């Protein structure tokens, strides 16, 4: 039986920071490229789908009743089937961690360490992430709880502080090309928001059952984390220029000033980015190590980080990598997570009680 040493709030914040990094950093450039000015409408429309996702996740969570997702499946379905699902998700989590690490290295190199070799940056990230992952769930939960108010306050600072630079008329007119771009944008918003489903992979570590209210609050925060910087980018730069920026959410820091004499506050974005990257990569690598069929978790973690290290040595230009994400990966992850959510819902709800299939 798993040790239960976290409170529900730890799990909510872990998912908010992790998925927040996804929607805040990775999704916005791709969303703007496919939906243009209507990107913010895609976020508004996705709120309905987020609500549906949360209802399904909450229903499954009640059936699990504090048990591990894969422990429950092992109790009701053939072991080889459950192990196959576990390996598939372990691979997905490792890929997600790789993408986050890849962009973190590129952003670090281009923003404040452009004379530092990428190999040195990579080694630095890997060492920090391995150390954090080795400390386990309790430490990661505490780290997330401490980081969340700081990261949130920085987000409010850049959002409110840049109000004089915003021209909301740039967000209109909408639907000039019909509903097509907005609907296409839903694929990208949901590729991020469907990660709420990942909370079921760690419910066994909380002392109390997750509440539907807590999940809805988490979903609302994630919507704000995408809608805020997205509307900010469009209203500050215009959707054409925002589309050309590699990281529109973080370029807004360059516009922020406090009075006449306090400028160049973009150094605060370093803390924001690296906090999100730390929680996301460490969370996903720990979950992946749990899903791999190795008894020794430390060996699993070392193998995963070795894979991440070697994969990031492959010289893929960030722009080319971004195109691959937009054209292939995000549509794939949208379909994969949508199908997974439905499949797990059917598997869990059809075996509330009973024997192994």
Given pLDDT bands bounded at 50, 70 and 90, which one contains residue 352? low
Confidence (pLDDT) at 356: 55
What is the DSSP track for 316-352?
--HHHHHHHIIIIIHHHHHHHHHHHHHHHHHHHHTTS
Confidence (pLDDT) at 68: 86
Provide the number of structural domains found in the chain: 1
Helical segments of 238-296, H only = 239-244, 248-251, 268-291
Out of 9-13, 172-176, 254-258, which region has the weakest mean confidence (pLDDT)?
A: 254-258
Residue 245, pLDDT above cutoff 70: yes
Does some domain include residue 356? no
Q: How many residues does the chain have?
A: 357
Contacts of 325 by beta carbon, 8 Å cutoff, 6+ apart: 26, 30, 99
0.75 exceeded by pTM? yes
pLDDT tens-digit profile of 143-174?
999 999 999 999 999 999 999 999 999 999 99
CB 276 within 8 A of CB 24: yes
Does some domain include residue 112? yes
Average pLDDT value over all residues in the chain = 93
Out of 119-123, 245-249, 281-285, which region has the weakest mean confidence (pLDDT)?
A: 245-249
Q: Tell me how far apart the terminal alpha carbons of the chain are, to the nearest angstrom.
A: 22
Confidence (pLDDT) at 295: 83
Given pLDDT bands bounded at 50, 70 and 90, which one contains residue 353? low
CB 97 within 8 A of CB 308: yes
Contacts of 313 by beta carbon, 8 Å cutoff, 6+ apart: 119, 122
Q: Token digits for 132? A: 């954090």
Confidence (pLDDT) at 265: 84
Residue 260, pLDDT above cutoff 90: no
The mean pLDDT of 339-351, rounded to a whole number, is 93
Does some domain include residue 2? no
Percentage of residues of the chain with pLDDT beyond 90: 83
Given pLDDT bands bounded at 50, 70 and 90, which one contains residue 271? very high
pLDDT tens-digit profile of 24-68?
989 999 999 999 999 999 999 999 999 999 999 999 999 998 888
Residue 1, pLDDT above cutoff 50: no
Instruction: Pick the closest to residue 231 from 220, 242, 222 (CA basis).
Output: 242
> Which pairs with CB-CB distance under 8 Å and at least 24 residues apart come from 314-321?
316/102, 318/102, 318/103, 318/106, 318/110, 318/246, 319/246, 321/102
Given pLDDT bands bounded at 50, 70 and 90, which one contains residue 127? very high
Confidence (pLDDT) at 267: 85
Does some domain include residue 33? yes
Does some domain include residue 352? no
Residue 224's domain spans which residues?
8-346
Residue 262, pLDDT above cutoff 90: no
Give the angle subtended at the CA of 324 by the CAs of 319 and 325, to the nearest 5°. Answer: 95
Give the angle subtended at the CA of 307 by the CAs of 305 and 313, to the nearest 5°. Answer: 105
Residue 239, pLDDT above cutoff 60: yes
CA dihedral for 316, 93, 290, 336, sign (positive or negative): negative
The mean pLDDT of 102-121, rounded to a whole number, is 92
The mean pLDDT of 126-136, rounded to a whole number, is 96
Contacts of 133 by beta carbon, 8 Å cutoff, 6+ apart: 140, 282, 285, 286, 289, 301, 305
CB 137 within 8 A of CB 285: no
Given pLDDT bands bounded at 50, 70 and 90, which one contains residue 348? very high
Does some domain include residue 355? no
The mean pLDDT of 213-231, rounded to a whole number, is 97
CA dihedral for 351, 352, 355, 356, sign (positive or negative): positive
Given pLDDT bands bounded at 50, 70 and 90, which one contains residue 198? very high
Confidence (pLDDT) at 113: 86
Q: 163: cis peptide before it, omega within 30°? A: no
């Amino acid at each position: 039986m798993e040790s239960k040493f976290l409170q529900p709030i730890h799990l909510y914040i872990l998912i908010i920071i992790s998925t927040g990094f996804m929607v805040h950093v990775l999704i916005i450039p791709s969303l703007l490229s496919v939906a243009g000015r209507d990107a913010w409408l895609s976020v508004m429309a996705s709120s309905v789908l987020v609500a549906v996702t949360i209802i399904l996740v909450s229903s499954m969570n009640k059936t699990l009743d504090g048990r591990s997702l894969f422990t429950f499946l092992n109790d009701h379905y053939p072991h080889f089937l459950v192990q196959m699902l576990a390996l598939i998700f372990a691979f997905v989590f490792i890929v997600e961690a790789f993408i986050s690490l890849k962009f973190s290295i590129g952003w670090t190199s281009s923003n404040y360490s452009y004379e530092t070799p990428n190999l040195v940056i990579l080694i630095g990230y890997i060492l920090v992430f391995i150390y954090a992952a080795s400390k386990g769930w309790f430490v990661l939960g505490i780290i997330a709880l401490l980081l969340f108010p700081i990261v949130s306050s920085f987000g409010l600072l850049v959002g409110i502080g840049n109000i004089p630079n915003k021209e909301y008329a740039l967000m209109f007119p909408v639907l000039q090309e019909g509903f097509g771009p907005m609907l296409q944008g839903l694929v990208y918003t949901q590729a991020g928001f469907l990660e709420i489903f990942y909370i079921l992979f760690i419910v066994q570590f909380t002392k109390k059952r997750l509440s539907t209210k807590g999940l809805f609050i988490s979903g609302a925060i994630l919507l704000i984390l995408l809608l805020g910087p997205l509307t900010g980018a469009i209203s500050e730069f215009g959707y054409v220029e925002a589309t050309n920026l590699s990281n529109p959410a973080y370029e807004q820091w360059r516009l922020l000033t406090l009075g006449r004499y306090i400028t160049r506050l973009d150094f605060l974005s370093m803390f924001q980015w690296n906090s999100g990257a730390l929680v996301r990569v460490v969370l996903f690598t720990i979950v992946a190590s749990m899903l791999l069929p190795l008894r020794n978790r430390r060996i699993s973690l070392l193998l995963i980080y070795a894979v991440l290290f070697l994969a990031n040595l492959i010289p893929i230009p960030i722009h080319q990598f971004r195109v691959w994400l937009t054209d292939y990966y995000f549509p794939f992850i949208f379909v994969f997570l949508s199908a997974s959510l439905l499949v797990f819902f059917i598997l869990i709800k059809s075996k509330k009680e009973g024997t192994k299939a």
